Structure 1
């Protein structure tokens, strides 16, 4: 995968951010993943030692195999330690040394205006974070989000999952996060209210690899060609 971010640093309004969805579980997967591969079975097994359950991912039903975590060749220009999100391909990359990166599948905003673009700093990391719907989310769906305006504590029902990385720009919270999910079947889709969601095992892996102060880059959405 070759990424080219030349000329993309576009400031966009920081509105409509959020991390919830109404997605439903598909009955059948689009592609059968490598369910018998011990490497992936171990990678996506239940995570011990957590205050709340982090269940194993059922790879036979809910994840296209291309979105499973792997190390790949990387030809982008970002420095090692940078997190690069490509919402077009629905991947996040942790840039490594010597032209390599760890690639994670992600779910992104369901409409283009929901997506953050440009550079940010991972200013804060949180385990089992509290989730609070934004005012935009409450305004769009007051019946659903209004009762949660004071927030939801971390736990198995929290849409942020077991970890969250908070994106700031110019010292201010953008309201966008990289986080886990209680809907693993949505990875590889346009589903969220703007945040970048990863499988819970993947956000735990990324959380452990990147320190606070790390750079994050979210590439712009490519315009769809008009016939």
Structure 2
């Protein structure tokens, strides 16, 4: 993956870091023009801070999260825009113990330089021991104190090495905006495809 902007960052150390949050299934490349998505908590965090993270989702995963949320909403008799945040947080296994963790907004990023990534299903998160300061990804067979949430195994997550470096992140990802789930008229009508088109600037 030498042609990628972050190819030099695809190291064993990066794989070890990725394995803390996901079950690694492989590596691949995203070309310029692709879209990625992050679940973020706040609207006032600068774009540079939001994109400076290795953790991202592809569009098909966001679609799966929203489809499952819509099924829940139809059963519970509530509007999708009012439940998408909670459902997204659970599906992505975002712990309430992590600073700045949340899913009020969907951040859209456009790839502007080819990037390498590690991919896999998110691990369940919880406390490995009593009085642990924060939840962590849990390994099969590990002794644990408690489980906080179990993610949807179909919600494949991407880990982009090197993106914690703001210079590398800005070289590879152009922020396209963030969209609050609860304010979406498309989601209020259950229109997932309309919402996804809109956030990519096509609707």
TM-score, structure 1 as length reference: 0.26
The answer to which structure, 1 or 2, has the higher relative contact order (CA under 8 A, 6+ apart) is 2
| Higher percent of residues as helix | 2
TM-score, structure 2 as length reference: 0.28
